[in-house]
Amino acid sequence: MSQNSPIRSFSLHRSVLSVPAINLRALEKTHALDCDAVIFDLEDSVALEKKEEARENLKTFFSGKPLTNKEKIIRINALSSAFGHADMELVQALRPDSVLLPKVDEPQDVMAVSDLLADADAPETLRIWAMIETPRGILNAAAIAEAGRTLGSRLDCFVVGLNDLRKETGVLPQPGRTYLVPWLMQVILAVRAYGLDAIDSVFNDFKEVDAFEAECAHARAMGYDGKMLIHPMQIEAANRHFAPDEAAIREAEEIIAAFADPSAEGLNVITLNGRMIERLHLVQAESLVHKARLISERQTIERKPLS
């Protein structure tokens, strides 16, 4: 990581569960789930005639027992729709951790919401996530990330939406996602250039456990921080795949200890166990150990199926 690279946040985003805001029973069950974050969805999973009811459900839920130990994200409808501004008024009133914008095509989509939050004096802690799920979104991923980080627009995370992207491009939903990998990696380049997190797309069949596990491993190998989920049955696998393993943690701790040794003072390159280690590896090791610490500190809670 260069000295000019933005500092990424250290939030856990291994498992990001999407829950329809229209389903109040499902909302209540999120208290007992071991996911890192919950997306309260007002968009695709809510029928047009149910939008107002879904907003009322979120008012009820947020006024009740606090949802602890999880990030709270509200996915709104596009500002250009008939529901977007009412959704934003709800976000400003409820003040979740983040607002998720659907079908982000260009930087202005993010800046418009950032301006609304600023005009409403929303705290800087209320962040923005962006769904990258259209051809224009993929083509403009770097520009969106750059504007989101350099113009003070609160942008923290990209979430890839492959269902819409497949629909608009005609790419078939094949195992391995061969023809989608270039676009998935384009998102990774954009987020890493500007210090954002990246969440992989949903896997549609939660009963296909082995295929889901394979897709988690695939996303982790590409550099994604976590996966958007559609069912609690997927949480455990996502948490496991996107967490550092014990061998990686031990190696990271060795790197940190080696650079902390007085003999390494002032050195940018050292030798450890027969390998050349640079200070950039120290930065990576510190990030990994911090992530492992966050995971270990998380309270283990009972996981219940969402029906």
pTM value surpassing 0.85: yes
Residue range 210-260, pLDDT digits in tens: 999 999 999 999 999 999 999 999 999 999 999 988 888 888 888 999 899
Query: Is 44 one of the annotated binding-site residues?
Result: no
Query: Is 133 one of the annotated binding-site residues?
Result: yes
From residue 112, how far is each of 28, 75, 92, 148, 154 by CA, in Å? 32, 15, 14, 11, 11
How far, in Å, CA of 264 to CA of 305, rounded? 51
Residue range 262-300, pLDDT digits in tens: 888 888 888 888 888 888 888 888 888 888 888 888 745
The amino acid sitting at 238 is: A
Alpha carbons within 13 angstroms on the beta-carbon side of residue 48 total 2
Does residue 77 sit in helix, strand or coil? Answer: coil
Check residues 131 and 287 and name the one with the higher pLDDT.
131
**DSSP 3-state percent helix, strand, coil across the chain (nearest 5):** 50, 15, 35
Q: How confident is the model at residue 115 (pLDDT cuts 50, 70, 90)?
A: very high
| Continuous segment of H or E residues that includes residue 187 | helix 181-194
Q: How confident is the model at residue 304 (pLDDT cuts 50, 70, 90)?
A: very low
Q: How confident is the model at residue 10 (pLDDT cuts 50, 70, 90)?
A: low
Kindly state the average pLDDT of the residues 83-99: 97
Q: How confident is the model at residue 307 (pLDDT cuts 50, 70, 90)?
A: very low
How far, in Å, CA of 10 to CA of 15, rounded? 14
Look over the chain and give the mean of its residue pLDDT values, rounded to a whole number.
91
Q: Which of 1-10, 32-41, 134-143, 211-220 has the lowest mean pLDDT?
A: 1-10
Query: Is 34 one of the annotated binding-site residues?
Result: no
Check residues 239 and 2 and name the one with the higher pLDDT.
239
Complete domains list, the chain, with CATH: 15-241 (3.20.20.60), 246-297 (no CATH)
CB neighbourhood size of 260 (10 A): 10
Q: Is the pLDDT of residue 96 over 70?
A: yes
Kindly state the average pLDDT of the residues 165-192: 96
